[in-house]
Amino acid sequence: MEVLNEFLKTKGIYSLVMILFFLGVYGMVLSKNYMKKLMAMNVMQVAVIYFYLCFAQKDGAMIPIQNGLTTDPNAYINPLPHGLMLTAIVVSLGTTGVAIALLMRIKEIYGSVEEVEVLRRASK
């Protein structure tokens, strides 16, 4: 268990994030169901957000709004990546909402969200 904890504390978390990202790519490429593609896209978005949040962390750093501040900039966590990732979460939510609305419309028009079936019915 110590070996796993040490691995995850160093660079292992980036490996797990990349696995999560490529699981999303795998789902996007190989799935023939549009809803499953949407879920895979969300997995990719979560992996990217998690990567940036992990990248922004520093051991022993503190947030820059605490009392008793020092003048050393290396003692603080950079708040910019966290703010950008909050924006990315909102964009992801908006993208998902629009995609679900489009999928509902596709289901209404073509009667399916399977890619092969939608393409077959659209070509008629």
Q: Residue 79 has which token pair?
A: 């708040």
| pLDDT value of residue 10 | 73
Range with the poorest average pLDDT among 2-11, 22-31, 40-49: 2-11
Q: Over the stretch 68-99, which tens digit does the pLDDT of each residue have?
A: 666 777 778 888 888 999 999 999 999 999 99
Domains and CATH numbers, the chain: 2-58+76-122 (1.10.287.3510)
pLDDT at 94 (0 to 100): 97
- Distance, CA of 88 to CA of 96 (rounded, Å): 12
75-87: buried (b, 16+ CB within 10 Å) or exposed (e) per residue? ebeeeebeeebee
pTM (2 decimals)?
0.82
In the prediction, which pLDDT does 11 show? 75
Neighbours of 15 (CB within 10 A): 11
- Give the whole-angstrom CA distance, residue 11 versus residue 18: 11
